[in-house]
Structure 1
Amino acid sequence: MAASATDNDVEPEGFAVAVVREETVWKVTALDRSALTNLDDAERQLREMRAAGAVFGLLDVDDEFFIVVRPAPGGAQLLVSDATAAIDYDVAADVLEALDVDIPDYDSDELDDVEPWEEGDPGLLADLGLPDAVMSVIVGDTDLYADEQIGMIAARMGFADELSKVLDSLGH
């Protein structure tokens, strides 16, 4: 596994939320912070939502990258906005492992010179109103922080107000 902030007993900054769509209503709730460091835990928390509608998670890790997790019977659909994050963060390495993608072979010191790229399915939210082309544009805008990219996803899908209320309650 990759070295990460958790190896040094330092929790990453950021937030993890569950987004649920029941008919035409969006609900956003905070997940336990352990979702930021453990992909299995994030998936477990999302499965425990037991909602009748669609459920997915948005994880902002250190404002460096984000992960979309959508539980499914055959295994979660996943998207990580920056595959190079797997070098420094276990949760990103877990996503690549689940996608059967090798961790990029760079030294941490070289990462400033490497253009980030996403791994996973940019169409994982297409059936909920976010086409893969739009997701690709959002992920591809590397001038934005992860929370700004998640904000764009929320705005495009129609749950920006709900997300904002949860982030305010978390102090973000």
Structure 2
Amino acid sequence: MEGSVLGGLDDTITALRALRSTGAVFGMCNVDDEFFVLIRPIPGGVDLLLSDAAAALDYDIAADVLDLLRADAPDEDDDEVWPEGNLSILSDIGLPEGELLVIIEEVDLYPDEQLEMIAQRCGFGEQFAGVLEKLDQ
């Protein structure tokens, strides 16, 4: 699953559900270096976090996230960055809601840099950096 969100949000959720792990399973999707999506299957559904709800104006995957969250799409003239979804999505593995919000609000960072910060805070920063390195080759 490295490198892409497969065919879309539904495919990604399905692929994550198919993974068998003794620990937490979640996906981190960087979309065109514009925003990111965190996806975490849970019993009976899925937890989602979209780093920039305004991305739904230009990206189908962001609009799909808002649809699953039953959140309203932003207005066309909205240029403010705000997250939508569960900010405590990773709190049980070391990233409290407030810290995740601080990372999202670092608008000078690219999504891959934000995701790297998330990975470091959750304890798998080296592995994440290794994946990014492979993708750059």
**TM (normalized to structure 2)?**
0.93
State the Cα RMSD in Å: 1.5
- Which residue of 2 is the match for residue 24 of structure 1? none
- Which residue of 2 is the match for residue 99 of structure 1? 69
SS, match of residue 71 in structure 1? strand
CA contact (8 A) 1:36 1:60 kept: no
Given the alignment, which residue of 24, 31, 43 partners 2:13? Answer: 43
Q: How does 1:153-172 map to 2 (within 5 A)?
A: 153-171=118-136
More strand by share: 1
1:3-56 Cα shifts (integer Å, max 9, x gaps): xxxxxxxxxxxxxx6xxxxxxxxxxxx26x2x2651111101111111122100
SS, match of residue 68 in structure 1? strand
CA–CA distance in 2 between the matches of 1:153 and 1:65? Answer: 14
Q: How does 1:45-84 map to 2 (within 5 A)?
A: 45-84=15-54
Deviation at 1:149, TM superposition (A): 0.5
Moved segments of 4+, more than 3 Å:
none
Percent identity between the two aligned chains = 50
Q: What stretches of structure 1 of length at least 5 have no aligned partner? A: 1-16, 18-29
CA–CA distance in 1 between the matches of 2:71 and 2:51? Answer: 14
How many residues end up aligned between the 2 structures?
Answer: 137
CA–CA distance in 2 between the matches of 1:36 and 1:139? Answer: 24
CA–CA distance in 2 between the matches of 1:59 and 1:37? Answer: 12
The one-letter code of the counterpart of 1:49 is L
**TM (normalized to structure 1)?**
0.75
CA–CA distance in 1 between the matches of 2:109 and 2:87? Answer: 17
Deviation at 1:68, TM superposition (A): 0.3
The one-letter code of the counterpart of 2:46 is A
Q: What stretches of structure 2 of length at least 5 have no aligned partner? A: none
Tell me whether 1:141 sits opposite 2:96 in the alignment: no
Given the alignment, which residue of 56, 69, 87 partners 1:122? Answer: 87
CA–CA distance in 1 between the matches of 2:131 and 2:114? Answer: 16
CA–CA distance in 2 between the matches of 1:41 and 1:103? Answer: 22
